[in-house]
Structure 1
Protein backbone atom coordinates (compact mmCIF):
# COMPACT_ATOMS: atom_id res chain seq x y z
CA UNK A 1 0.00 0.00 0.00
CA UNK A 2 2.90 2.36 0.71
CA UNK A 3 4.12 2.01 -2.87
CA UNK A 4 0.74 3.03 -4.23
CA UNK A 5 0.69 5.97 -1.82
CA UNK A 6 3.97 7.20 -3.34
CA UNK A 7 2.42 6.86 -6.80
CA UNK A 8 -0.55 8.96 -5.70
CA UNK A 9 1.78 11.58 -4.19
CA UNK A 10 3.65 11.67 -7.49
CA UNK A 11 0.47 12.44 -9.42
CA UNK A 12 -0.48 15.09 -6.86
CA UNK A 13 2.91 16.70 -7.41
CA UNK A 14 2.71 16.49 -11.21
CA UNK A 15 -0.89 17.46 -11.87
CA UNK A 16 -2.20 19.46 -8.90
CA UNK A 17 -1.24 22.48 -6.83
CA UNK A 18 -1.73 20.59 -3.56
CA UNK A 19 1.97 19.92 -3.23
CA UNK A 20 5.05 21.19 -5.02
CA UNK A 21 7.59 19.34 -2.91
CA UNK A 22 10.03 17.92 -5.51
CA UNK A 23 10.89 15.04 -3.18
CA UNK A 24 7.44 13.61 -3.94
CA UNK A 25 8.45 12.96 -7.56
CA UNK A 26 8.72 9.19 -7.92
CA UNK A 27 11.87 9.40 -10.08
CA UNK A 28 13.63 12.04 -7.98
CA UNK A 29 17.14 11.10 -6.82
CA UNK A 30 17.04 11.18 -3.03
CA UNK A 31 13.26 11.51 -3.06
CA UNK A 32 10.94 9.85 -0.57
CA UNK A 33 10.06 6.99 -2.93
CA UNK A 34 13.70 6.25 -3.67
CA UNK A 35 14.61 6.24 0.03
CA UNK A 36 11.78 3.79 0.69
CA UNK A 37 13.19 1.58 -2.08
CA UNK A 38 16.61 1.66 -0.40
CA UNK A 39 14.97 0.51 2.83
CA UNK A 40 13.39 -2.50 1.13
CA UNK A 41 16.67 -3.47 -0.49
CA UNK A 42 18.46 -3.17 2.86
CA UNK A 43 15.92 -5.40 4.59
CA UNK A 44 16.15 -7.95 1.77
CA UNK A 45 19.92 -8.10 2.35
CA UNK A 46 19.46 -8.44 6.11
CA UNK A 47 16.76 -11.12 5.83
CA UNK A 48 18.72 -13.20 3.33
CA UNK A 49 21.85 -12.94 5.48
CA UNK A 50 19.77 -14.07 8.45
CA UNK A 51 18.50 -17.02 6.40
CA UNK A 52 22.10 -17.97 5.61
CA UNK A 53 22.84 -18.02 9.35
CA UNK A 54 19.54 -19.67 10.24
CA UNK A 55 20.02 -22.53 7.77
CA UNK A 56 23.83 -22.59 7.95
CA UNK A 57 23.77 -22.45 4.17
CA UNK A 58 25.86 -20.08 2.07
CA UNK A 59 23.46 -20.41 -0.85
CA UNK A 60 21.34 -17.50 0.39
CA UNK A 61 24.39 -15.24 0.26
CA UNK A 62 24.20 -15.33 -3.54
CA UNK A 63 20.85 -13.55 -3.38
CA UNK A 64 22.03 -11.34 -0.53
CA UNK A 65 25.00 -10.16 -2.60
CA UNK A 66 22.68 -9.42 -5.52
CA UNK A 67 20.45 -7.17 -3.42
CA UNK A 68 23.56 -5.57 -1.96
CA UNK A 69 24.64 -4.69 -5.49
CA UNK A 70 21.17 -3.29 -6.22
CA UNK A 71 21.35 -1.05 -3.16
CA UNK A 72 24.82 0.23 -4.01
CA UNK A 73 23.90 0.71 -7.66
CA UNK A 74 20.70 2.60 -6.88
CA UNK A 75 22.26 4.83 -4.24
CA UNK A 76 25.46 5.64 -6.13
CA UNK A 77 24.08 5.52 -9.70
CA UNK A 78 26.77 3.05 -10.70
CA UNK A 79 25.18 1.85 -13.94
CA UNK A 80 24.60 5.44 -15.09
CA UNK A 81 28.17 6.55 -14.34
CA UNK A 82 29.81 3.39 -15.63
CA UNK A 83 27.51 3.37 -18.66
CA UNK A 84 28.54 6.93 -19.49
CA UNK A 85 32.22 6.01 -19.11
CA UNK A 86 31.89 2.94 -21.35
CA UNK A 87 29.90 4.83 -23.99
CA UNK A 88 32.61 7.48 -24.16
CA UNK A 89 35.51 5.02 -24.25
CA UNK A 90 33.89 2.77 -26.87
CA UNK A 91 32.48 5.71 -28.84
CA UNK A 92 28.92 4.41 -28.94
CA UNK A 93 26.52 6.20 -31.29
CA UNK A 94 22.90 7.19 -30.74
CA UNK A 95 20.34 4.88 -32.35
CA UNK A 96 16.54 4.62 -32.32
CA UNK A 97 16.29 7.65 -30.02
CA UNK A 98 18.56 5.95 -27.49
CA UNK A 99 21.63 7.90 -26.39
CA UNK A 100 25.15 6.43 -26.35
CA UNK A 101 24.99 6.35 -22.54
CA UNK A 102 21.85 4.18 -22.76
CA UNK A 103 23.77 1.52 -24.68
CA UNK A 104 26.53 1.79 -22.10
CA UNK A 105 23.99 1.20 -19.35
CA UNK A 106 22.57 -1.80 -21.21
CA UNK A 107 26.07 -3.28 -21.36
CA UNK A 108 26.51 -2.74 -17.61
CA UNK A 109 23.12 -4.36 -16.95
CA UNK A 110 24.07 -7.31 -19.14
CA UNK A 111 27.47 -7.96 -17.57
CA UNK A 112 26.31 -7.52 -13.97
CA UNK A 113 23.19 -9.59 -14.63
CA UNK A 114 25.23 -12.41 -16.13
CA UNK A 115 27.60 -12.37 -13.16
CA UNK A 116 24.88 -12.62 -10.53
CA UNK A 117 22.80 -15.13 -12.48
CA UNK A 118 25.90 -17.33 -12.70
CA UNK A 119 26.48 -16.93 -8.96
CA UNK A 120 22.85 -17.78 -8.21
CA UNK A 121 22.95 -20.74 -10.63
CA UNK A 122 25.93 -22.20 -8.76
CA UNK A 123 24.13 -21.70 -5.44
CA UNK A 124 21.01 -23.29 -6.95
CA UNK A 125 23.00 -26.35 -8.00
CA UNK A 126 24.56 -26.70 -4.54
CA UNK A 127 21.47 -25.69 -2.54
CA UNK A 128 18.75 -27.87 -1.04
CA UNK A 129 15.22 -28.29 -2.40
CA UNK A 130 13.85 -25.48 -0.21
CA UNK A 131 16.41 -23.00 -1.53
CA UNK A 132 15.75 -24.10 -5.10
CA UNK A 133 12.00 -23.55 -4.80
CA UNK A 134 12.60 -20.14 -3.25
CA UNK A 135 15.09 -19.25 -6.00
CA UNK A 136 12.66 -20.17 -8.75
CA UNK A 137 10.14 -17.73 -7.30
CA UNK A 138 12.75 -15.03 -6.89
CA UNK A 139 13.99 -15.53 -10.46
CA UNK A 140 10.47 -14.98 -11.80
CA UNK A 141 10.15 -11.81 -9.75
CA UNK A 142 13.62 -10.74 -10.88
CA UNK A 143 12.53 -11.02 -14.51
CA UNK A 144 9.58 -8.74 -13.79
CA UNK A 145 11.90 -6.32 -12.00
CA UNK A 146 14.24 -6.34 -15.02
CA UNK A 147 11.29 -5.60 -17.30
CA UNK A 148 10.51 -2.40 -15.41
CA UNK A 149 14.10 -1.48 -14.63
CA UNK A 150 15.57 -2.09 -18.08
CA UNK A 151 12.92 -2.42 -20.81
CA UNK A 152 10.55 0.26 -19.50
CA UNK A 153 13.56 2.43 -18.62
CA UNK A 154 14.67 2.39 -22.27
CA UNK A 155 11.13 3.19 -23.44
CA UNK A 156 11.12 6.03 -20.92
CA UNK A 157 14.17 7.48 -22.67
CA UNK A 158 12.53 7.15 -26.09
CA UNK A 159 9.38 8.97 -24.96
CA UNK A 160 11.15 11.37 -22.59
CA UNK A 161 9.95 14.55 -24.29
CA UNK A 162 6.49 13.34 -25.26
CA UNK A 163 3.16 13.56 -23.48
CA UNK A 164 3.66 9.95 -22.36
CA UNK A 165 6.75 10.80 -20.27
CA UNK A 166 4.88 11.05 -16.91
CA UNK A 167 3.25 7.69 -17.58
CA UNK A 168 6.58 5.99 -18.18
CA UNK A 169 7.98 7.55 -15.00
CA UNK A 170 5.25 5.84 -13.00
CA UNK A 171 5.51 2.58 -14.95
CA UNK A 172 9.26 2.36 -14.48
CA UNK A 173 9.78 3.47 -10.90
CA UNK A 174 6.34 2.50 -9.60
CA UNK A 175 6.67 -0.95 -11.16
CA UNK A 176 10.11 -1.43 -9.61
CA UNK A 177 8.79 -0.39 -6.20
CA UNK A 178 5.85 -2.80 -6.25
CA UNK A 179 7.97 -5.74 -7.43
CA UNK A 180 10.65 -5.02 -4.82
CA UNK A 181 7.98 -4.99 -2.11
CA UNK A 182 6.70 -8.38 -3.28
CA UNK A 183 10.24 -9.76 -3.28
CA UNK A 184 10.95 -8.47 0.22
CA UNK A 185 7.69 -9.90 1.58
CA UNK A 186 8.43 -13.25 -0.03
CA UNK A 187 11.94 -13.30 1.48
CA UNK A 188 10.45 -12.45 4.87
CA UNK A 189 8.04 -15.38 4.55
CA UNK A 190 10.89 -17.83 3.94
CA UNK A 191 12.12 -17.61 7.52
CA UNK A 192 8.66 -18.46 8.82
CA UNK A 193 8.40 -21.42 6.47
CA UNK A 194 11.74 -22.74 7.69
CA UNK A 195 10.72 -22.28 11.34
CA UNK A 196 7.51 -24.24 10.74
CA UNK A 197 9.40 -27.21 9.36
CA UNK A 198 12.29 -27.28 11.80
CA UNK A 199 12.92 -30.00 14.35
CA UNK A 200 14.28 -28.03 17.32
CA UNK A 201 15.71 -31.13 18.99
CA UNK A 202 18.02 -31.84 16.07
CA UNK A 203 19.09 -28.20 15.94
CA UNK A 204 19.98 -28.36 19.62
CA UNK A 205 22.24 -31.29 18.80
CA UNK A 206 24.20 -29.01 16.49
CA UNK A 207 23.08 -30.36 13.12
CA UNK A 208 22.86 -27.89 10.20
CA UNK A 209 19.36 -26.58 9.64
CA UNK A 210 19.52 -27.58 6.00
CA UNK A 211 19.61 -31.20 7.16
CA UNK A 212 16.63 -30.94 9.48
CA UNK A 213 14.23 -28.64 7.64
CA UNK A 214 11.19 -30.72 6.83
CA UNK A 215 8.49 -29.01 4.83
CA UNK A 216 5.07 -29.97 6.20
CA UNK A 217 3.66 -29.84 2.73
CA UNK A 218 6.39 -30.99 0.38
CA UNK A 219 3.97 -31.23 -2.48
CA UNK A 220 2.63 -27.73 -1.92
CA UNK A 221 3.29 -25.34 -4.79
CA UNK A 222 4.10 -21.81 -3.78
Structure 2
Protein backbone atom coordinates (compact mmCIF):
# COMPACT_ATOMS: atom_id res chain seq x y z
CA UNK A 1 0.00 0.00 0.00
CA UNK A 2 2.75 2.45 0.99
CA UNK A 3 4.69 1.80 -2.26
CA UNK A 4 1.53 2.37 -4.29
CA UNK A 5 1.00 5.69 -2.51
CA UNK A 6 4.62 6.79 -3.19
CA UNK A 7 4.46 5.84 -6.87
CA UNK A 8 1.12 7.61 -7.16
CA UNK A 9 2.68 10.83 -5.82
CA UNK A 10 5.67 10.53 -8.15
CA UNK A 11 3.37 10.25 -11.19
CA UNK A 12 1.48 13.32 -10.00
CA UNK A 13 4.63 15.35 -9.47
CA UNK A 14 6.69 14.37 -12.51
CA UNK A 15 4.22 14.86 -15.34
CA UNK A 16 3.98 18.66 -15.61
CA UNK A 17 4.78 20.76 -18.65
CA UNK A 18 4.85 24.49 -19.41
CA UNK A 19 6.71 27.63 -18.46
CA UNK A 20 7.15 26.35 -14.91
CA UNK A 21 7.66 22.64 -14.27
CA UNK A 22 7.33 21.17 -10.80
CA UNK A 23 10.23 18.78 -11.30
CA UNK A 24 12.56 21.78 -11.64
CA UNK A 25 11.53 23.32 -8.31
CA UNK A 26 13.67 21.49 -5.77
CA UNK A 27 12.25 23.36 -2.78
CA UNK A 28 8.66 22.52 -3.73
CA UNK A 29 9.62 18.91 -4.34
CA UNK A 30 11.24 18.64 -0.91
CA UNK A 31 8.06 19.91 0.72
CA UNK A 32 5.93 17.55 -1.37
CA UNK A 33 8.00 14.48 -0.55
CA UNK A 34 8.27 15.42 3.13
CA UNK A 35 4.48 15.66 3.34
CA UNK A 36 4.09 12.43 1.37
CA UNK A 37 6.48 10.68 3.76
CA UNK A 38 4.32 11.81 6.69
CA UNK A 39 1.24 10.53 4.87
CA UNK A 40 2.83 7.14 4.23
CA UNK A 41 3.81 6.87 7.91
CA UNK A 42 0.25 7.69 8.99
CA UNK A 43 -1.16 5.17 6.52
CA UNK A 44 1.17 2.42 7.78
CA UNK A 45 0.38 3.18 11.43
CA UNK A 46 -3.33 3.10 10.59
CA UNK A 47 -3.02 -0.31 8.90
CA UNK A 48 -0.78 -1.85 11.56
CA UNK A 49 -2.87 -0.68 14.54
CA UNK A 50 -6.09 -1.63 12.76
CA UNK A 51 -4.82 -5.15 12.15
CA UNK A 52 -3.27 -5.49 15.61
CA UNK A 53 -6.55 -4.53 17.29
CA UNK A 54 -8.43 -6.98 15.09
CA UNK A 55 -6.22 -10.00 15.89
CA UNK A 56 -5.62 -9.14 19.55
CA UNK A 57 -7.20 -11.51 22.08
CA UNK A 58 -7.71 -8.70 24.57
CA UNK A 59 -8.58 -5.01 24.51
CA UNK A 60 -5.27 -3.21 24.17
CA UNK A 61 -6.06 0.36 25.16
CA UNK A 62 -2.71 1.68 23.92
CA UNK A 63 -3.31 0.35 20.39
CA UNK A 64 -6.88 1.65 20.45
CA UNK A 65 -5.73 5.13 21.50
CA UNK A 66 -3.01 5.21 18.84
CA UNK A 67 -5.45 4.07 16.18
CA UNK A 68 -8.01 6.70 17.20
CA UNK A 69 -5.30 9.37 17.14
CA UNK A 70 -4.11 8.37 13.63
CA UNK A 71 -7.33 6.95 12.11
CA UNK A 72 -7.52 8.09 8.48
CA UNK A 73 -11.31 8.11 8.58
CA UNK A 74 -11.68 10.01 11.85
CA UNK A 75 -12.57 13.69 11.35
CA UNK A 76 -10.72 14.72 14.53
CA UNK A 77 -7.57 12.62 14.03
CA UNK A 78 -4.01 13.77 13.35
CA UNK A 79 -4.39 12.60 9.75
CA UNK A 80 -7.39 14.85 9.17
CA UNK A 81 -5.68 17.76 10.93
CA UNK A 82 -2.76 17.40 8.51
CA UNK A 83 -5.25 17.44 5.64
CA UNK A 84 -6.86 20.62 6.96
CA UNK A 85 -3.48 22.31 7.25
CA UNK A 86 -2.40 21.34 3.72
CA UNK A 87 -5.67 22.49 2.15
CA UNK A 88 -5.61 25.79 4.03
CA UNK A 89 -2.00 26.31 2.93
CA UNK A 90 -2.97 25.84 -0.72
CA UNK A 91 -5.85 28.32 -0.37
CA UNK A 92 -3.59 30.89 1.32
CA UNK A 93 -0.84 30.48 -1.30
CA UNK A 94 -3.20 31.11 -4.22
CA UNK A 95 -4.81 34.11 -2.52
CA UNK A 96 -1.33 35.60 -2.07
CA UNK A 97 -0.41 34.91 -5.72
CA UNK A 98 -3.69 36.48 -6.88
CA UNK A 99 -2.86 39.78 -5.19
CA UNK A 100 0.66 39.51 -6.60
CA UNK A 101 -0.30 38.81 -10.22
CA UNK A 102 -4.05 39.62 -10.39
CA UNK A 103 -4.44 36.50 -12.51
CA UNK A 104 -8.04 35.36 -12.10
CA UNK A 105 -7.10 31.70 -12.35
CA UNK A 106 -5.35 32.09 -8.99
CA UNK A 107 -8.59 33.17 -7.36
CA UNK A 108 -10.35 30.17 -8.90
CA UNK A 109 -7.88 27.79 -7.27
CA UNK A 110 -8.09 29.78 -4.03
CA UNK A 111 -11.87 29.30 -3.98
CA UNK A 112 -11.51 25.61 -4.86
CA UNK A 113 -9.16 24.94 -1.96
CA UNK A 114 -11.27 27.04 0.42
CA UNK A 115 -14.27 24.87 -0.43
CA UNK A 116 -12.16 21.73 -0.02
CA UNK A 117 -10.87 22.97 3.35
CA UNK A 118 -14.34 23.90 4.61
CA UNK A 119 -15.75 20.59 3.45
CA UNK A 120 -12.99 18.62 5.13
CA UNK A 121 -12.99 20.60 8.38
CA UNK A 122 -16.72 21.39 8.72
CA UNK A 123 -18.15 18.30 6.96
CA UNK A 124 -20.09 20.48 4.52
CA UNK A 125 -21.30 17.76 2.16
CA UNK A 126 -22.27 15.40 5.01
CA UNK A 127 -24.28 18.06 6.83
CA UNK A 128 -25.90 19.61 3.78
CA UNK A 129 -26.47 16.15 2.31
CA UNK A 130 -28.35 15.13 5.46
CA UNK A 131 -30.58 18.22 5.31
CA UNK A 132 -31.28 17.73 1.59
CA UNK A 133 -32.01 14.03 2.04
CA UNK A 134 -34.47 14.64 4.87
CA UNK A 135 -36.13 17.59 3.15
CA UNK A 136 -36.62 15.78 -0.18
CA UNK A 137 -37.18 12.37 1.44
CA UNK A 138 -34.76 10.77 -1.01
CA UNK A 139 -35.11 6.96 -1.04
CA UNK A 140 -32.28 4.42 -1.13
CA UNK A 141 -31.42 3.27 -4.66
CA UNK A 142 -28.67 1.19 -6.30
CA UNK A 143 -27.05 0.43 -2.95
CA UNK A 144 -26.81 4.12 -2.04
CA UNK A 145 -28.67 5.76 0.86
CA UNK A 146 -30.75 8.90 0.60
CA UNK A 147 -27.94 10.57 2.57
CA UNK A 148 -25.48 9.62 -0.18
CA UNK A 149 -27.64 11.18 -2.88
CA UNK A 150 -28.00 14.26 -0.70
CA UNK A 151 -24.22 14.49 -0.43
CA UNK A 152 -23.89 14.27 -4.22
CA UNK A 153 -26.36 17.15 -4.52
CA UNK A 154 -24.27 19.12 -1.99
CA UNK A 155 -21.16 18.49 -4.09
CA UNK A 156 -23.07 19.55 -7.21
CA UNK A 157 -23.97 22.87 -5.57
CA UNK A 158 -20.27 23.52 -4.95
CA UNK A 159 -19.50 22.54 -8.56
CA UNK A 160 -22.00 25.14 -9.83
CA UNK A 161 -20.36 27.89 -7.75
CA UNK A 162 -16.89 26.81 -8.90
CA UNK A 163 -18.11 26.82 -12.50
CA UNK A 164 -19.22 30.43 -12.10
CA UNK A 165 -15.77 31.41 -10.81
CA UNK A 166 -14.13 29.37 -13.59
CA UNK A 167 -16.14 31.22 -16.26
CA UNK A 168 -15.18 34.55 -14.69
CA UNK A 169 -11.53 33.50 -14.69
CA UNK A 170 -11.74 32.31 -18.29
CA UNK A 171 -13.28 35.61 -19.35
CA UNK A 172 -10.19 37.39 -17.98
CA UNK A 173 -7.65 34.73 -18.98
CA UNK A 174 -3.97 35.52 -19.37
CA UNK A 175 -1.27 33.73 -21.43
CA UNK A 176 0.27 32.03 -18.39
CA UNK A 177 -3.00 30.62 -17.05
CA UNK A 178 -2.75 27.36 -18.96
CA UNK A 179 0.53 26.58 -17.24
CA UNK A 180 -1.19 26.90 -13.85
CA UNK A 181 -4.05 24.66 -14.92
CA UNK A 182 -1.64 22.00 -16.19
CA UNK A 183 0.37 22.01 -12.96
CA UNK A 184 -2.70 21.74 -10.72
CA UNK A 185 -4.96 19.57 -12.88
CA UNK A 186 -3.65 16.13 -11.94
CA UNK A 187 -3.45 16.61 -8.15
CA UNK A 188 -6.97 18.06 -8.17
CA UNK A 189 -8.33 15.32 -10.47
CA UNK A 190 -6.79 12.69 -8.19
CA UNK A 191 -8.27 14.40 -5.11
CA UNK A 192 -11.76 14.45 -6.62
CA UNK A 193 -11.45 10.85 -7.84
CA UNK A 194 -10.41 9.56 -4.42
CA UNK A 195 -13.01 11.65 -2.61
CA UNK A 196 -15.93 10.68 -4.85
CA UNK A 197 -15.29 7.31 -6.53
CA UNK A 198 -13.64 5.51 -3.61
CA UNK A 199 -16.17 7.07 -1.24
CA UNK A 200 -19.06 5.61 -3.25
CA UNK A 201 -17.33 2.22 -3.50
CA UNK A 202 -16.75 2.34 0.26
CA UNK A 203 -20.49 2.73 0.77
CA UNK A 204 -21.49 0.01 -1.68
CA UNK A 205 -18.86 -2.66 -0.90
CA UNK A 206 -19.07 -4.09 2.60
CA UNK A 207 -16.69 -6.28 4.58
CA UNK A 208 -13.64 -6.05 6.82
CA UNK A 209 -10.99 -6.03 4.11
CA UNK A 210 -13.05 -3.81 1.82
CA UNK A 211 -13.36 -1.27 4.63
CA UNK A 212 -9.62 -1.29 5.34
CA UNK A 213 -8.50 -1.14 1.71
CA UNK A 214 -11.02 1.48 0.62
CA UNK A 215 -10.26 3.65 3.67
CA UNK A 216 -6.59 3.64 2.67
CA UNK A 217 -7.41 4.31 -0.99
CA UNK A 218 -9.96 7.03 -0.23
CA UNK A 219 -8.44 8.91 2.69
CA UNK A 220 -4.81 8.02 2.01
CA UNK A 221 -5.27 8.85 -1.67
CA UNK A 222 -6.79 12.22 -0.77
CA UNK A 223 -3.85 13.02 1.50
CA UNK A 224 -1.29 12.10 -1.16
CA UNK A 225 -3.18 14.20 -3.72
CA UNK A 226 -3.26 17.19 -1.37
CA UNK A 227 0.45 16.79 -0.61
CA UNK A 228 1.08 16.94 -4.36
CA UNK A 229 -1.19 20.00 -4.59
CA UNK A 230 0.86 21.77 -1.90
CA UNK A 231 4.05 21.09 -3.85
CA UNK A 232 2.41 22.29 -7.06
CA UNK A 233 1.13 25.42 -5.31
CA UNK A 234 4.62 26.24 -4.08
CA UNK A 235 6.01 25.73 -7.58
CA UNK A 236 3.44 28.20 -8.90
CA UNK A 237 4.32 30.65 -6.12
CA UNK A 238 8.04 30.40 -6.85
CA UNK A 239 7.53 30.65 -10.61
CA UNK A 240 4.71 33.24 -10.74
CA UNK A 241 7.02 36.02 -11.96
CA UNK A 242 8.37 33.78 -14.71
CA UNK A 243 4.90 32.60 -15.75
CA UNK A 244 3.45 36.09 -16.08
CA UNK A 245 6.54 38.06 -17.14
CA UNK A 246 5.26 38.31 -20.72
CA UNK A 247 1.67 39.30 -19.89
Interval containing the TM-score (normalised by the shorter chain): 0.7 to 0.9
Once the two structures are TM-superposed, the CA of residue 35 in structure 1 deviates from its matched residue by 0.2
Aligned pair partner of 1:189 in 235, 238, 242: 235
> In the alignment, is the contact (CA less than 8 A) between 1:145 and 1:179 conserved in 2?
yes
> In the alignment, is the contact (CA less than 8 A) between 2:130 and 2:150 conserved in 1?
yes
Higher mean displacement: 49-58 or 35-44:
49-58
TM-score, structure 2 length as denominator? Answer: 0.75
Is the aligned partner of 1:135 residue 2:181?
yes
Alignment-derived partner of residue 206 in structure 1 = none
Is the aligned partner of 1:175 residue 2:225?
no
Aligned pair partner of 2:203 in 149, 154, 157: 157
Q: Deviations over 1:132-189 (max 9, x none)?
A: 2212332333222111101110110112445311111111000100011111110100
Corresponding residue SS for 2:140: coil
> In the alignment, is the contact (CA less than 8 A) between 1:12 and 1:19 conserved in 2?
no
Corresponding residue SS for 2:209: coil
Alignment-derived partner of residue 19 in structure 1 = 63
- The structure with more helix, counted as a fraction of residues: 2
C-alpha distance in 2 between matches for 1:111 and 1:192: 33
Once the two structures are TM-superposed, the CA of residue 61 in structure 1 deviates from its matched residue by 1.4
Alignment-derived partner of residue 192 in structure 2 = 146
C-alpha distance in 2 between matches for 1:174 and 1:163: 15
C-alpha distance in 1 between matches for 2:184 and 2:161: 16
Is the aligned partner of 1:99 residue 2:135?
no
Q: Deviations over 1:66-118 (max 9, x none)?
A: 11111111111111011011111111111122111000001111221232133
Alignment-derived partner of residue 49 in structure 1 = 95
User: Aligned ranges for residues 18-97 of structure 1 at < 5 Å?
Assistant: 19-20=63-64, 21=66, 22-97=68-143
C-alpha distance in 1 between matches for 2:104 and 2:167: 13
Higher relative contact order (CA 8 A, sep 6+): 2
C-alpha distance in 2 between matches for 1:123 and 1:164: 41
Unpaired runs of 5+ in structure 2? Answer: 1-36, 54-61
**Bigger-Rg structure (1/2):** 1
Aligned pair partner of 1:4 in 15, 26, 40: 40
Higher mean displacement: 24-33 or 13-22:
13-22
> In the alignment, is the contact (CA less than 8 A) between 1:6 and 1:33 conserved in 2?
yes
